[in-house]
């Protein structure tokens, strides 16, 4: 097992429209004021197709999360020499390494403040169901409902934030990430033949969208739209990542979903996450 570094009073995630129903409530269909909602533990996984330990890490993560649908969200950032590396993915990894100039993979950050190597937890064992259940048991007071529609190369995204307690912070951000559920064109040397929940683009960007303090019982509604430009980029690399202004790396536009979360950028605490589709 591992230590939790989070405030319990204001932590949490809740499912998206397509990843689990909102908790029953009494405020215009929203969750009940003062009551906790289902936490979707956000797993930010930093990996790469040419990283040897990343292959067993992917297996360990899949095993730990098996049968846990509706209680977690998953987003993977391909790094190192993976052809799907992006500046946004690098920036996200370095966010959790203040003052450093390099990074290592594989690595996982759960709910912003719980970091670990998925193959070797504090007890020397791989991340497992027991570890996940410790995280999932933490109370959450923000329901995050998400829906997305894909038309051609455009995604229209709707987000509803339903706080059941007041939530405030010096720098609250709403992050919206488009992921491709399964990719294969980035196969490398580590033996993996497919990759799950791969980041394609933050909307509008990796800095997220500032949000005001959230008031219990008052929904915060947000809409986003993003169009992937150009054609599929066949020649991408660590030294020449995709330029989203002119191209994209989406293999199948029908296989896109969205992961959303609210995070305090001072403490890194993730109050909750949601997702469209399935993990």
Tell me the per-residue pLDDT of 232-243, one tens digit each, with 9 for 90 and over.
999 999 999 999
Structure tokens at 62: 């899949």
Query: Strand 154-163 vs strand 220-227: parallel, antiparallel, or unpaired?
Result: antiparallel
- Is residue 204 reached through a cis peptide bond, with omega within 30 degrees of 0 on the bond before it? yes
Per residue in 83-138, pLDDT (tens digit) is 999 999 999 999 999 999 999 999 999 999 999 999 998 778 999 999 999 999 99
In this structure, are residues 40 and 19 in contact, taking their beta carbons and an 8 Å threshold? yes
The reported pLDDT for the residue numbered 29 is 64
> Is a pLDDT exceeding 90 seen at residue 226?
yes
The reported pLDDT for the residue numbered 140 is 98
Looking at the chain, the number of H-run helices and the number of E-run strands are: 3, 14
The reported pLDDT for the residue numbered 249 is 98
In this structure, are residues 75 and 13 in contact, taking their beta carbons and an 8 Å threshold? no
The overall average pLDDT reported for the chain is 91
Structure tokens at 241: 């990542």
> Is a pLDDT exceeding 90 seen at residue 4?
no
Confidence of residue 52 (pLDDT cuts 50, 70, 90): very high
The reported pLDDT for the residue numbered 6 is 30
Confidence of residue 277 (pLDDT cuts 50, 70, 90): confident
User: Is the alpha carbon torsion for 122, 4, 210, 177 positive or negative?
Assistant: positive
Give the percent of the chain with pLDDT over 70. Answer: 89
In this structure, are residues 167 and 192 in contact, taking their beta carbons and an 8 Å threshold? no
The reported pLDDT for the residue numbered 124 is 85
Per residue in 158-204, pLDDT (tens digit) is 999 999 999 999 999 999 999 999 999 999 999 999 999 999 999 99
d(CA 35, CA 163) in angstroms, rounded, equals: 10
The reported pLDDT for the residue numbered 30 is 79
> Is a pLDDT exceeding 50 seen at residue 16?
no
Collapse the DSSP code of 130 into the 3-class scheme (helix H, G, I; strand E, B; otherwise coil) and give the result: helix
Could you give phi then psi for residue 39, rounded to 5 degrees?
A: -90, 130
Mean pLDDT over 24-29 rounds to: 46
Structure tokens at 155: 């995604």
Confidence of residue 10 (pLDDT cuts 50, 70, 90): very low
d(CA 83, CA 249) in angstroms, rounded, equals: 9
Query: Strand 72-78 vs strand 231-232: parallel, antiparallel, or unpaired?
Result: unpaired
Mean pLDDT over 45-56 rounds to: 98
């Amino acid at each position: 097992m591992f230590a939790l570094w989070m405030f319990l009073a204001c932590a949490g995630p809740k499912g998206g429209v397509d990843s689990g129903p909102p908790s029953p409530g009494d405020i215009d269909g929203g969750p009940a004021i003062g009551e906790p909602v289902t936490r979707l533990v956000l797993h930010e996984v930093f990996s790469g197709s040419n990283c040897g330990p990343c292959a067993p890490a992917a297996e360990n993560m899949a095993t730990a999360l098996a049968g846990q649908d509706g209680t977690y969200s998953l987003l993977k950032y391909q790094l190192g020499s993976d052809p799907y590396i992006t500046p946004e993915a690098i920036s996200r990894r370095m966010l959790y390494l203040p003052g450093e100039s390099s990074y290592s993979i594989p690595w996982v950050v759960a709910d912003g403040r719980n970091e670990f190597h998925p193959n070797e937890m504090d007890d020397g064992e791989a991340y497992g169901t027991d570890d996940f259940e410790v995280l999932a048991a933490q109370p959450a007071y923000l329901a995050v409902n998400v829906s997305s529609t894909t038309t051609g190369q455009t995604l229209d995204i709707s987000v509803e934030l339903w706080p059941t307690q007041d939530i405030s912070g010096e720098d609250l951000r709403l992050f919206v990430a488009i992921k491709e559920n399964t990719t294969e064109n980035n196969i490398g040397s580590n033996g993996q033949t497919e990759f799950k929940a791969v980041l394609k683009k933050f909307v509008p960007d990796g800095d997220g969208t500032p949000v005001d303090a959230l008031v219990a019982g008052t929904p915060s509604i947000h809409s986003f739209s993003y169009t992937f430009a150009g054609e599929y980029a066949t020649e991408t690399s660590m030294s020449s990542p995709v330029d989203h202004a002119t191209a994209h790396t989406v293999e199948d536009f029908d296989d896109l979903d969205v992961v959303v979360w609210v995070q305090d950028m001072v403490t890194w605490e993730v109050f909750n996450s949601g997702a469209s589709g399935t993990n």
